Amino acid sequence: MDVVVYILIFQGFLGGFDVLWNHEWKERLPTKSTAAIEQKIHGVRELFYALIFLGLAWFNWNGIWAWVLFSVIVIEIVLTAWDFVIEDKTRILSPVERITHLILSMMGGAYVALLIPVLIEWSHSPSIFICVEYGVRSWILTFLGIGVFGWGVRDLFSGLALTRNQDGQV
């Protein structure tokens, strides 16, 4: 799990860069009516990442919970694929954003590939959460999880507001 935790920390910081630099500063997605769907996808996906960061920072997900976590990860992957399609339909991504998304995808694939055998092992145990701690890494993942949760709520509401504005509502 150590490598998975390190990859998730890297993923959290690079994802934060992507959001702040590419989505907020360069593209100003929360203000673009064409970004309504993208913002909603980002919001839901960020909420899933919050669950992953916080959940893996402090717990082993045993038994049926391993399958719940696996389902969250699969949904997040589907949302990422959908996000790629929507982005390509609604805007031209800068080279920095394309490269950032490439690295995020590669690291996402790496953490999932390394986590799958762990989830399989956990799935054979009784269905309980086991408390774990990775020292300062658990606290970093907690910080990232709280941040991505807040940003997820914000992006989701931004997407909903943009949709209302498109529909002519105030």
Domain definitions of the chain by residue range? 2-166
Alpha carbon distance 124, 102 (integer Å) = 34
SS (H, E, C) 88-130: HHHCCCCHHHHHHHHHHHHHHHHHHHHHHHHHHHHHCCCCCEE
Per the CB < 8 A criterion, the answer to whether 154 and 39 are in contact is no
Per the CB < 8 A criterion, the answer to whether 4 and 116 are in contact is no
The rounded average pLDDT for each run of 10 residues, N- to C-terminus, in the chain (170 residues) is 97 97 95 95 98 98 98 98 96 96 97 98 98 98 98 96 77
pLDDT at 168: 63
pLDDT at 165: 83
Six-digit token pair at 21?
Answer: 């630099």
pLDDT at 57: 98
pLDDT at 32: 94
